[in-house]
Amino acid sequence: VTSESSFIALMRSLATDPAARNLLDDAAVIDLGNETLILTHDMLAEGVHWLPLADPADVAWKLVSVNLSDLAAKGARPLGVLLGFMLGDSDWDRHFAEGLKRVIEHYGAPLLGGDTVSNRGDKRALGLTAIGAATHKPVPSRAGARAGDVLYVTGTLGDALAGFELVEAGLEPPDMLSADRMASASKACFEIDITAIPLSAAYRAYRGDSRDSRLQAASWGDDYQLLFTAPEGAPLPVPAMAVGRVVEGAGLALFDGAERLPLPPTLGYQHG
Amino acid sequence: VTSESSFIALMRSLATDPAARNLLDDAAVIDLGNETLILTHDMLAEGVHWLPLADPADVAWKLVSVNLSDLAAKGARPLGVLLGFMLGDSDWDRHFAEGLKRVIEHYGAPLLGGDTVSNRGDKRALGLTAIGAATHKPVPSRAGARAGDVLYVTGTLGDALAGFELVEAGLEPPDMLSADRMASASKACFEIDITAIPLSAAYRAYRGDSRDSRLQAASWGDDYQLLFTAPEGAPLPVPAMAVGRVVEGAGLALFDGAERLPLPPTLGYQHG
């Protein structure tokens, strides 16, 4: 048991309000008047979620994307964001602010507030809270998949892995985590055909489309695509590609066409 | 110009949405459907906002209080909080979690979500987002004071200063900041009679009720009392004591009874 998982277990024991969804989803869902709010807070830490030499504008983009993808997964339109910023080198801070301006304008998620603290030489950690309004109800949940549903992904996977490796080699690529969490919450088994996993042309050129390449693209994460299920034949709310189906059972089952594959040792990147 | 004030100026240039109130208030105000949301995010940093030997449960209490006082200043009832937590020593983390449980139960502000990152030996920084629903409209603003209003405070000041000094001596006590910010936002002058500033019995016993003692109690901050104005004779929504009045002009004017006092060099504690 890591200190992180034991702390999260403590937090889960406090998070008894139904809006917290037992911390099993990545966002809280609050019914208020005739609206439903979606709230999420994600942090990024230097050296864990970004490399020291990363462009600060890219860090801003990632910080906002991580949070807005949680809203998107709930079908919410963003109302705005609050920034928790650790000050440091003023050039870094200014480039971060420029990146922040671009990303919040791109996604139409206005900056509403936040706070700053000085970091006095420590590695930086940044936090962002995103708030959104549900566009339809019920709000999608990780526990909503049903046997017979088709599993979809909204875009190509692997570019984040390739980008990372081009900057720094030597880390094990270890997100089929998302699919595993949905399967677990839905008490169902997700069968994924790795030959159906969409790869960008750039990723194919970088690593090819071998079984290993596809498994790695699917297990790295950080691509900020949505994974969702829908009944077979149902009209889709967004363009997406089928990558598998939901069956009775538990966990993930991977296939390369007809061939059943062993599960990789880890299903997603676990931060050290 | 500090790097913090220049960063905040950059953020203000981004925060053009009316809900951000130009970052002049401590909370964002979002109209949604038939409700009005209040959102705030405040951070605490080890060594800046708490001493390394502080009880982690007290740090949790302060982190929640700082944010809920921003909601209270807007007359909002809390809907819940999201925690951004930097993991470290697991005993510290556990005691923090125990304190968090007590404070969120005390204030009825359920934990709805958040995120954790490992801190790997750095000084910790913690963030909390609080969301509330307005209980009446218009939502009070710092800019709402009018000449002729009476200035009120909801409780005694000075205990935070005394507590801090009993733990660590040697820092200049420097929050009349709040009053100054309200006066500035309202384009009015706040006259404060320091003899009317309520002091707790414990603070009087610690430091006495001299002019210096009263000035220090009023300029330290961290007491989490509310400062507000109301027209003379208006019924008050909460028990409060009159400490001054609003007149035409700008800034603060301090009096010891009838005697006009010079302003102290700083109006509140400025974090280094």
A40 to chain B, any CB pair closer than 8 A? The answer is yes
Sequence letter at residue A241: M
Window 113-172 of A, Cβ < 8 Å to B: 113-120, 122-123, 125, 127, 129, 131, 133
Q: Which of A83, A100, A125 sits opposite B86 (nearest CB)?
A: A125
DSSP state of B73: T
Contact call for A43 and B127, based on CB within 8 A: yes
Angle between helices A159-167 and A211-220 (to 10 degrees): 90
pLDDT tens string B48-93: 888 888 899 999 999 999 899 889 888 899 999 999 999 988 899 9
Nearest Cα to A21, choosing from B115, B212, B113? B113
How far B208 CA lies from chain A's nearest CA (Å)? 34
- Interface check for B9 against chain A (CB to CB < 8 A): the answer is no
Q: Among B34, B80, B86, whose Cβ lies nearest the Cβ of A30? A: B80
pLDDT at A119 over 60: yes
* B18 in contact with chain A, both atoms CB, cutoff 8 A: no
Percent of chain A with pLDDT over 70: 89
- Tokens of residue B224, six digits: 């989490």
Burial of B48 (0-12, 13-18, 19+ CB in 10 A): middle
Average pLDDT over residues A38-53: 90
Find the CB nearest B43 among A34, A117, A272.
A117
Q: Check whether A211 has a pLDDT greater than 80.
A: yes
**What mean pLDDT comes out for the span A216-237?**
80
Q: What is the pLDDT of residue A109?
A: 95
SS (H, E, C) A29-87: EEEECCEEEEEEEEEEEECCCECCCCCHHHHHHHHHHHHHHHHHCCCEEEEEEEEEEEE
**Using the beta-carbon criterion (under 8 Å), do A10 and B84 form an inter-chain contact?**
no
Q: What does the pLDDT read at residue A99?
A: 94
Interface test with B, best of A7, A87, A124 (most B CBs within 10 A): A7
pLDDT at position A269 over 60 = no
Do B45 and A123 count as a contact with CB atoms less than 8 A apart? no
Mutate to test the interface with B, among A129, A142, A271 (most CBs of B within 10 A): A129
Q: Report whether B133 contacts B76 (CB < 8 A).
A: yes
* Cβ <8 Å between A111 and B44: no
Mean pLDDT of A198-210: 85
Q: Whole-angstrom Cα distance, residue A171 to residue B58?
A: 39
Q: Which chain A residues are within 8 Å of B129, Cβ to Cβ?
A: 39, 41, 82, 129
Residue B187: which residues within 8 A CB-CB, separation 6 or more?
B143, B250
* Chain A to chain B Cβ contacts (< 8 Å): 227
- Chain B residues touching residue A126 (CB < 8 angstroms): none
Q: Answer with the residue of higher pLDDT: A109 or B152.
A: A109
pLDDT of residue B77: 94
Mean pLDDT calculated for residue range A39-54: 89
Task: Please say if the pLDDT value at position A108 is more than 90.
Answer: yes
Q: Which of A129-138, A172-181, A258-267, B194-203 has the lowest average pLDDT?
A: A172-181
Residue of A nearest to B11 (CA): A97
Could you tell me which chain B residue has the CA closest to the CA of A79? B30
Query: What pLDDT score was predicted for residue A267?
Result: 65
A164 pLDDT band, cuts 50/70/90, is low
Give the full edge-to-edge strand order of the sheet including B150-153. B227-230, B150-153, B241-247, B189-193, B251-256, B259-261
Strands lying side by side in the sheet with B35-45:
B28-32, B35-45, B125-134, B76-87, B111-118
Q: Which residue of A has its CA nearest to B89?
A: A3
Higher pLDDT, A41 or A251: A41
Contact between B7 and A85 using a beta-carbon 8 Å cutoff: yes
Task: Collect the ranges in chain B with pLDDT lower than 50.
Answer: 168-174, 270-272
Residue B47: predicted pLDDT: 85
| pLDDT bracket for residue A128 (50, 70, 90) | very high
Residue B270 is predicted with a pLDDT of 47
**pLDDT average, residue stretch A105-133:** 90
Which chain A residue has its CA at the smallest distance from B44's CA?
Answer: A117
Nearest neighbour of B115 by CB, restricted to A14, A15, A41: A41
Least confident range from A193-197, A258-262, B268-272: namely B268-272
Q: Which residue in the set A112, A119, A271 is minimally distant from B28, CB to CB?
A: A112
Q: Tell whether A20 lies on the interface with B, counting CB pairs under 8 A.
A: yes
Above 50 in pLDDT, residue A270? Answer: no
Instruction: List chain B residues with CB under 8 Å of A131.
Output: 30, 37, 39, 131
- Identity (one letter) of the amino acid at B115? D
Least confident of A2-6, A144-148, A173-177, B39-43: A173-177
Q: What is the pLDDT of residue A207?
A: 83
Query: Distance from B252 to chain A by nearest Cα, in Å?
Result: 25
How is residue A189 written in tokens? 């088994």
Contacts of B104 in chain A (CB under 8 A): 14
Q: What is the pTM of this model?
A: 0.77
Q: Which of B7, B27, B37 lies closest to A97 in CB terms?
A: B7
Residue with tokens 């299920």: A229
Residues of A in contact with B26 (CB under 8 A): 113
Quick check: B83 and A11 CB within 8 A?
Answer: yes
Tokens encoding B96: 């923090």
Q: What is the pLDDT of residue A163?
A: 62
- Residues 6 or more apart whose CB falls under 8 angstroms from that of A241 comprise A152, A153, A154, A196, A198
Task: State which residue of chain B sits closest to A108, comparing Cα positions.
Answer: B17
Supply the DSSP symbol for B22: G
Q: Are the CB atoms for B225 and B241 separated by under 8 Å?
A: no
Q: How far apart are CA A113 and CA B71, in angstroms?
A: 13
- pLDDT score at B60: 95
The answer to whether A82 faces chain B, any CB pair under 8 Å, is yes
Most confident of A57-66, A111-120, A156-165: A57-66
Give the pLDDT score at B94: 93
Task: Tell me which chain A residues have a C-beta less than 8 angstroms from the C-beta of B49.
Answer: 117
Q: Which of A:89-108 have CB within 8 Å of B?
A: 90, 93-94, 97, 100-101, 104
> Which residue matches tokens 């961290």?
B222
pLDDT above 60 for A272 = no
